Structure 1
Amino acid sequence: MLWDVFCRVIDNFGDIGVCWRLCRDLADRGHTVRLWVDDACALSWMAPEESRPSAISVLDWADAQDMRYLDQQGQPVEVTPGEVVIEAFGCNPPDAFVAAMLLREDAPKWINLEYLSAEDWVERCHALPSPVFNGPGVGLTKWFYYPGFTRATGGLLREPGLLAERAAFTQSASAKANWLRQLGAAPLADGERLVSVFCYDHAPMASLLDQLAAAPTPYRVMLTPGPASQLAQAWQDGRADTGAVHLHYLPHLPQTAFDKLLWACDLNLVRGEDSAVRAIWADRPHIWNIYPQDDGVHAYKLDAFLERWTAHWPPDLQSRLTRVWKAWNALGPANDLQDLISLLDDPRWAEFGRQSVKTLAEMPDLVTQLGDFVTQSS
């Protein structure tokens, strides 16, 4: 089956990150995929060309408007829409492409893949049809598809075999050591904890590093490019001693390498949608730096996730984790972040997190559900 996936890169890497994982999973399951994107620059490191499945074509958004593109031999190829058209996050495919969808004998299944949310309304809106009454697609139907954390939603991206691959990696001490060596990091000292940080620029990095520096346990902090590295560098500048914390500045990592980073760490601080899901599947204590929105709705989204994620946790653990998460997101008192070290020392965080992961892993993944939806719905 041919899938056309449309993606506009608004800011950061979350939209293209989600779309690439979707395309990769579809291709690995035997589908042919065309990814139409207006800015593919991030794929140069996120999905290096030599590692891309041959079943995926990365094409320029403008070519979908012109309805032709050049193949690898430089020959023009006329575009005919595939059996499934996915617009990621309401990006609206070019008018010419939508008009061409009407010309197919069997109209494509047109899906708006929405943002991830744990809010209750997602279940009510998932998989609803929206007939098109104006514009070039009059007569078509667009379906709204919501990823989510319950069986009444579209689920989460999770490739077949991912959890088994993670288990094999985490159960091998040599695999972790070799991975750190590939990242240019020295072997961990006895008792040293490994922390990854991928955050937005409003995260209270200085407060975090102050606590780690004063901790009795040594910490190795793996910093991703961008705000995480910039904020850490600002904290480090002018300090003669960083205490118990050692900072390691990372290059941009391919998605598969980023996954291993999360698997290797004792604590992951991640940001945005794609990394939040990968932190869940890493099955390690984590904190989500949710994408901040001007109208403040991200606070409700964070509360909704925490309510679902910790629904069956002990009340005291649930309360402490919520305060720390909110402090990291600048949605609560900064002093609440001071409980992070003692929270990480509490084995219940990992224990109950593992139960939450198990519950999510028992649900069908997003691509499996998408496949069923495309073939069964009308």
Structure 2
Amino acid sequence: MPQPKTRWDIFCTVVDNFGDIGVTWRLARQLVAEHALPVRLWVDDSHAFERICPEIDVDLAQQWQQGVEVRHWPSEWVHAEAADVVIAAFACQLPANYMDSMAARETPPLWLNLDYLSAEDWVTGCHGLPSVKYKTVQKFFFFPGFKPGTGGLLRERGLLERRRQFQQDRSAQRQFLQGLGIDPAPDAQLISLFAYENTGLASWLDVLAGDATPTHLLVPEGRILGDVARWLGVETLTVGAIQARQTLTVQVLPFVRQDQYDHLLWCCDFNAVRGEDSFVRAQWAGRPMLWHIYQQDDDIHLDKLDAFLALYTKGLPPEAAQAMNGLWRAWNAGQPIGEHWLAARKHWPPLQENAEAWCLEQALQADLATALVQFYVNWI
């Protein structure tokens, strides 16, 4: 493994509110904590960062958080010496002066484009291939993924063991939920909802409200709140709001730090998530889930959705796989999902078993941070 003096720079342009910074913040912390590497995280939006790391001082250009040197990425770039490993997260464009600094090094750095997560077949073939070159500096593609031959997923050391212990400890779960002001009925199913705006939500809430099984719906503040408020018939929903309709209780949660969000997912019976960071964390929760993928032009995001579904549902009985496919596709098309939810509920035991089996299967691969470090070792 590389010596601790090997310096790493990670650049993050916040595009989708929290997904980009969520991934890069987890990665930076893990490289420091588990690989003893000095890491600078360059972020262009400190206010978005502050939501998942409240200790951040948004007015500081340079600070240290959990061992990571956090630097504000200014619109007018100032000179900074290039690191030994440079990660451009999600194809963000590095400052021209910084690229010149990379090229000026006696030994060119390893330059990686950490790409978006996808289960599509072509990812395996492109992972690790050279990309563009800037003067003497070669850039390489690095793809997270679900198959051998990709970079794997972000997973901290001991994560699944901590998750299992927590899920087996009712007292710990109750204490965590109470800390967020959550007091569900003893027989209520817990569902978390973190999603983009979705016109299909109302039909799901209708079904949940009319279900004989009580549901406590936990909604972290975010873009879906407007749709929830419209269904409830209220103008706005703020943090702490609790509204009940028949057997459905809706509670709005504050935006919490990453480790707290992990615990929230671990507490829930079902997790609806969005983007990339929460998508991966829901898989490590080992519970049935629903993914709201980020919409792209020409619906190319649906190819990514179908590619993941093909992998995720391959271990399910045909009827259960069909129910999950219908639920996910309707949700991502903004269509009513109430009937699809009822269809999925008929196959709950196999869906639960599949979620845990998928989690364990993905844990057989090297985690993303370790794969990045190993890529550098092989490169030098």
Report the TM-score, using the length of structure 2 for normalisation.
0.90
Amino acid at match of 2:208: L
- The residue that corresponds to 1:23 in the other structure is 28
Cα deviations by residue, 1:151-178 (Å, 9 ceiling, x for unpaired): 1111000011111111111110011101
Distance in 2 (CA, whole Å) between partners of 1:253 and 1:223 is 11
**1:258 counterpart SS class:** helix
Matched, 1:215 2:211: yes
**2:297 counterpart SS class:** coil
Matched, 1:108 2:109: yes
- 1:130 Cα offset (Å): 2.3
Distance in 1 (CA, whole Å) between partners of 2:155 and 2:189 is 27
- The residue that corresponds to 2:181 in the other structure is 184
Distance in 1 (CA, whole Å) between partners of 2:175 and 2:291 is 27
**1:143 counterpart SS class:** strand
Matches within 5 A, 1:115-264: 115-132=116-133, 137-186=134-183, 188-237=184-233, 242-264=245-267
**1:49 counterpart SS class:** coil
Distance in 2 (CA, whole Å) between partners of 1:7 and 1:166 is 28
Cα deviations by residue, 1:281-313 (Å, 9 ceiling, x for unpaired): 011110000001121001111000000111222
**2:130 counterpart SS class:** strand
Q: 1:107 to 1:64 in 2, by over 3 A?
A: farther
Q: Is there any run of 5+ residues in structure 1 with no aligned partner, and where?
A: 68-78
- 1:50 Cα offset (Å): 7.3
Distance in 2 (CA, whole Å) between partners of 1:63 and 1:199 is 30
- The residue that corresponds to 2:376 in the other structure is 374
- The residue that corresponds to 1:275 in the other structure is 278
Contact 1:310 1:356 in 2 (8 A): no
Distance in 1 (CA, whole Å) between partners of 2:56 and 2:46 is 15
Contact 1:114 1:146 in 2 (8 A): yes
- The residue that corresponds to 2:61 in the other structure is none
- The residue that corresponds to 1:324 in the other structure is 327
Greater CA drift, 143-152 or 343-352: 343-352
- 1:342 Cα offset (Å): 4.8
Identity within the alignment, %: 41
Distance in 2 (CA, whole Å) between partners of 1:39 and 1:53 is 16
Q: 1:22 to 1:241 in 2, by over 3 A?
A: closer
Which of 49, 55, 59 aligns to 1:49? It is 55
Matched, 1:300 2:300: no
Cα deviations by residue, 1:186-245 (Å, 9 ceiling, x for unpaired): 2x3232100000011125221111010000000000001122222111111269961100
Amino acid at match of 1:95: A
Contact 1:327 1:337 in 2 (8 A): no
**2:171 counterpart SS class:** helix
Contact 1:222 1:247 in 2 (8 A): yes
- The residue that corresponds to 1:290 in the other structure is 293
Distance in 1 (CA, whole Å) between partners of 2:67 and 2:103 is 25
Contact 2:187 2:213 in 1 (8 A): yes
Q: 1:349 to 1:276 in 2, by over 3 A?
A: same
Amino acid at match of 2:299: G
Q: Is there any run of 5+ residues in structure 2 with no aligned partner, and where?
A: 1-5, 58-63, 236-242
Contact 1:328 1:337 in 2 (8 A): no
Query: How many equivalent residue pairs?
Result: 360
Contact 1:131 1:139 in 2 (8 A): no
Distance in 1 (CA, whole Å) between partners of 2:23 and 2:159 is 16
Q: 1:64 to 1:263 in 2, by over 3 A?
A: farther
Amino acid at match of 2:212: P
